Amino acid sequence: MLIAIASDHGGFALKETVKEYLRERGDKIVDLGTTSEESVDYPVYGKACGEAVASGKADCGIVICGTGIGISIAANKVKGVRCGLCTSVEMAELTRRHNNANVLALGGRTTEPELALDIVKTFLDTEFEGGRHKRRTDMLDEM
Ligand code: RB5
């Protein structure tokens, strides 16, 4: 799987941890920045990751800022993106099963790294259920 990943400075440390985990799994990564803890603007990175996924350049995306909130808002502005901010494994499972989320958002300052990796694993390994949920995700994609 090819995964696009991006963060602002608040998510940089967790982005590096997630990348290491993805490499261990054997996934391919396209890192869209940022490259340090120097202050940057999260909309730039949320948009870049969203566009990589919406264009088909990446199979799915992971975006990280301090809380995950701002960068998830940015990613969701890109048509075709369904970005879910997850703070638990259950949320990661449900945003895949029900929302067919194609981008995962995490909070680098609000979610411990160990939990974040469990969330990433669940997000990547859970399939969309389809059925009644497909009608709803189609509605989202029409917006
Ligand atoms: C940056 O200080 C912080 O505002 C950002 O990482 C994020 O938490 C925004 O939602």
Where exactly are the structural domains of the chain?
A: 2-142
* SS3 per residue for 83-96: EEECCCHHHHHHHH
Q: Is residue 65 flagged as an active site residue?
A: yes
User: Is the CB–ligand 1 distance for residue 42 below 6 Å?
Assistant: yes
Fold of 2-142: Ribose 5-phosphate Isomerase B; Chain: A, (3.40.1400)
Q: What is the mean pLDDT of residues 67-73?
A: 98
Q: Is residue 83 flagged as an active site residue?
A: no
pLDDT score, position 55: 98
Q: Which residue's CA is minimally distant from atom 6 of ligand 1? A: 66
Atom of ligand 1 nearest to the CA of 107: 8
pLDDT, tens digit (0-9, with 9 covering 90-100), for 85-142 = 999 999 999 999 999 999 999 999 999 999 999 999 999 999 999 999 999 999 999 9
Residues whose CB falls within 8 Å of the CB of residue 73, separated by 6 or more in sequence, listed in order = 46
pLDDT score, position 112: 98
pLDDT score, position 3: 98
Atom of ligand 1 nearest to the CA of 109: 8
Do the strands 60-65 and 28-31 form a parallel or antiparallel pair, or are they unpaired? unpaired
Backbone conformation region of residue 26, classed left if phi is above 0, alpha if psi is from -120 to 50, else beta: left
User: Is the CB–ligand 1 distance for residue 10 below 6 Å?
Assistant: yes
User: Is the CB–ligand 1 distance for residue 67 below 6 Å?
Assistant: yes
pLDDT score, position 96: 98
pLDDT score, position 42: 98
Average pLDDT, the chain: 98
Q: Which residue's CA is minimally distant from atom 4 of ligand 1? A: 66
pLDDT score, position 85: 99
Both tokens of 22, joined, read: 């993805």
Under a CB-based contact definition with an 8 Å cutoff, are residues 136 and 82 in contact?
no
pLDDT score, position 59: 98
User: Is the CB–ligand 1 distance for residue 51 below 6 Å?
Assistant: no
Percentage of residues in the chain having pLDDT higher than 70: 100
Percentage of residues in the chain having pLDDT higher than 90: 100
In angstroms and rounded to an integer, the radius of gyration of the C-alpha atoms of the chain is 14
pLDDT score, position 14: 98
Under a CB-based contact definition with an 8 Å cutoff, are residues 42 and 99 in contact?
no
